[in-house]
Every structure is written in C-alpha cells, then in structure tokens.
C-alpha cells in the first residue's frame, strides 16, 4: 500500500497538487489562460473604499503587452492566443482571464456583457475572474453560478478532450486575499480585512463555483512563522486553488519608500531559502488544494533589484520539485484535517 505522497495520487505523479495537472485531469487537455484588461478600475483607487490603492500595486507590472484596455476583448484574445501558441503549440482551448484591477467592480449588466463577449470567442471554454473579496454580492455570484450551470447561454457548446459535449462554460472566481492577518492588510492599505475574504470565498463556494485565492509572502508586519501558521487558515477556506507570490517591490510604489525606510519590517528570501520555505508551506497545505503558482514574475524593468537573477518560472518549478524530492516530502505531509 502507498505510504508517502503516492497515496494522494497527485496529477502527473508529482509531490504536490499542480493546477496545470488538475486541469489536464479534469478536462482532458491543457487549458491556457489569456489575460484580459476589460477596462475595470478598483474601489481602492477611485475613493469608494480607498485612494492610492494597495501600497505595492502597479497593475502595469502584472499584465502582458497584448492585454490593454484600448483593444476589444476578442482582439486581446486573438493576440493572446498567438502569443501563447509559440510556447504551447498543441493547446486548443483557452480561459479568458479577467485579471487587471477588480473584475466584478461594475453593475451586473455590464459584467454580463463582458463575460459573455469573451465566452463567444470560439476557442474560449471558460472565464477566470480576478477580483477583491469586497467586490462581489449575492446577485453577481448567483449570475456566475447560473452561467456555470448552463442556465444563461442556451446555445453555448464546446468540445474538450475530456468533455466532448460541454454545454456550460468553466467559471472560476479568484480572490486577492494577500494575507490572513488584518495588521499586514491594514499596513498595505488593502481596504478589507480577512473576514471579508473568508465570507466572499464561502459565498462563492456555496454556489458550486470553483474558487481560487492569491497570497503574497513577505508583506510588512508578517513573520515567517505567521505565514506558516496561515496555512491552517487557508486550509479551512473552501478553495480549489491557490497562488502564492514572493513580495516583489515595484519601482515607484509607496511600498518602495516604506521598504527603504523600514527594511527590518520585511521578510525577504534568497532563492534557496524561499524554496525551503515554500516546501515548509506545502507540507502544511491541504493536499486537495491545487497549487497554481508559488512565485511571481514581475518583468525586470519594474523592479530595482532581481536578487534571484533572471530565472524563469519553469526552472523555478523544476527546482521546487527537486527540493521536495531531496527532502523526501510532499504537499500535506504535516496537514492535519480539522
């Protein structure tokens, strides 16, 4: 009988539950996200929640060149598909990823137009909606649940390798939670607390929608022990997937100044340390959580320093896998079901 990581049956025989592997297993093929800028703004910038935004935020640093709000969604999708075809020649289907700013921050009628426009692209099989936890309500989530259950787009049909007669789009909601602690959230001027995030994740999962969340490792006021302890809080959320980024301090942001003034308040990681630290995190994370990312990749022109060099995500994934193997460990090894 399998004793170690084999007993979890992670996709592709890995020692952790990779999101790419989850997609392949669930839908029978690789799905690629295409980042879109649909022209949204953010309540933490326009004054309805706050002004100036989160202290680390510069949206330009986080989205690719093909995605700009001056272009139609179909044009961004076509250009994004061309862009990704170079690396993933055999990919046939895509997820429209509403990423820039807060992608549920508009009246429901406007959201419907945008999401349904993206879903009308013949290569798009679903949408991923990145947003803040304080930017959803019952009506918006009910609509998304109806969309995911095939009650909105009567004639919508797609043929995936694992689901040749798919009649409803894939719908994933991805919340920027960033930290499970209110003190760092206040310090980065996030404009919401952890309880708001917990409530939004629950309301979304209750409707049968897949929920993802994003966290930043290394925010000011958050120690390594706090980050490790936050795994228990993350495990308790009804999430399907998680993304983690090491904090990268983007030029020109308020955080750049804060870091210059008080570097002792920040946990910074050398690459080798981060690999070990992330393995420590993985050991504590629920094995059913899919890991979509464990590092961020801000283009070098947006940062003052690149302490890890110009190493690509694919190489970092390889290093993480090697580290898991060297330590003979796996995701969930220290996880205790609550």
Interface region with ligand SF4, contact rule CB under 6 A, candidates 38-46, 150-158, 249-257, 280-288: 38-46
Judged by CB, which is closer to ligand SF4: 132, or 158? 132
> How is residue 84 written in tokens?
């990704």
Determine, following the binding rule CB under 6 A, whether residue 54 of this chain makes contact with ligand SF4.
Answer: yes
In the complex with ligand SF4, the residue whose CB is nearer, 11 or 50, is 50
57 touches ligand SF4 (CB under 6 A): yes
Distance between CA atoms of residues 110 and 325, nearest Å: 48
Nearest to 171, CA basis, from 131, 220, 214, 216: 131
* Smallest distance from ligand SF4 to CB 295, Å: 18
Give exposure, 282-316, as e/b (b: 16+ Cβ within 10 Å): bbbbbbebbbbbbbbebeeebeeeeeeeeeeeeeb
DSSP letter for each residue of 4-29 = SGGGGT-GGG-SS-BHHHHHHHHHSS
Minimum distance, C-beta of residue 176 to ligand SF4, in the bound complex (Å): 6
Query: Between residue 154 and residue 213, which ones bind ligand SF4 under the rule CB under 6 A?
Result: 176
Angle between helices 194-206 and 138-148 (to 10 degrees): 40
**Ranges within 9-28 binding ligand SF4 (CB under 6 A):** none
Residues 281 and 229: beta-carbon distance below 8 Å: no
Of 49 and 148, which CB lies nearer to ligand SF4 in the complex structure? 49
Least gap, CB of 133 to ligand SF4 (angstroms) = 10
Piece of 37-45, 214-222, 226-234, 323-331 that binds ligand SF4 (CB under 6 A): 37-45
Of 47 and 122, the one with the shorter C-beta distance to ligand SF4 is: 47
* Cα distance between residue 81 and residue 83, in whole Å: 5
Q: Is 98 in the site for ligand SF4 (CB under 6 A)?
A: no
Residue showing the smallest CB distance to ligand SF4 in the complex: 53
Nearer to ligand SF4, 224 or 254 (CB): 254
In what order do the strands lie in the sheet containing 241-246? 31-36, 93-98, 124-131, 170-178, 210-217, 241-246, 290-293
| Binding residues for ligand SF4 (CB under 6 A) | 42, 44-45, 53-54, 57, 59, 101-102, 132, 176
């Amino acid at each position: 009988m399998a004793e170690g990581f084999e007993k979890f049956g992670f996709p592709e025989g890995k020692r952790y539950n990779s999101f790419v592997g989850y997609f392949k297993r669930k839908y029978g093929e690789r799905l690629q996200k295409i980042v879109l800028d649909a022209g949204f703004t953010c309540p933490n910038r326009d004054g309805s929640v706050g002004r100036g935004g989160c202290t680390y935020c510069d949206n330009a640093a986080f989205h690719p060149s093909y995605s700009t709000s001056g272009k139609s969604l179909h044009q961004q999708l076509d250009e994004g598909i061309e862009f990704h075809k170079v690396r993933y020649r055999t990919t046939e289907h895509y997820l429209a990823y509403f990423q820039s700013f807060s992608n549920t921050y508009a009246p429901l009628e406007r959201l419907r137009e945008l999401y349904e426009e993206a879903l009308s692209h013949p290569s798009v099989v679903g949408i991923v909606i990145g947003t803040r936890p304080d930017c959803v309500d019952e009506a918006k989530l009910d609509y998304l649940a109806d969309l995911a259950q095939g009650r909105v787009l009567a004639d919508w049909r797609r043929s995936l390798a694992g689901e040749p007669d798919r009649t409803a789009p894939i719908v994933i909601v991805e919340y920027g939670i960033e930290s499970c602690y209110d003190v760092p959230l206040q310090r980065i001027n996030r404009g919401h607390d952890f309880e708001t995030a917990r409530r939004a994740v629950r309301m979304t999962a209750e409707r049968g929608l897949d929920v993802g969340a994003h966290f930043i490792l290394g925010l000011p006021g958050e120690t390594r022990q706090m980050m490790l302890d936050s795994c228990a809080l993350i495990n308790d959320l009804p999430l399907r997937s998680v993304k983690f980024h090491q904090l990268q301090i983007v030029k020109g942001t308020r955080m750049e100044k804060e870091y210059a003034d008080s570097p002792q308040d920040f946990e910074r990681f050398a690459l080798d340390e981060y690999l070990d630290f992330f393995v420590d995190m993985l050991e504590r994370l629920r094995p059913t959580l899919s890991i979509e990312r464990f590092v961020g990749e801000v283009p070098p022109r947006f940062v003052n320093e690149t302490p890890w060099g110009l190493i690509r995500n694919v190489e970092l994934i390889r290093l993480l896998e090697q580290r898991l193997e060297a330590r003979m460990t796996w995701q969930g090894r220290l996880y205790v079901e609550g």
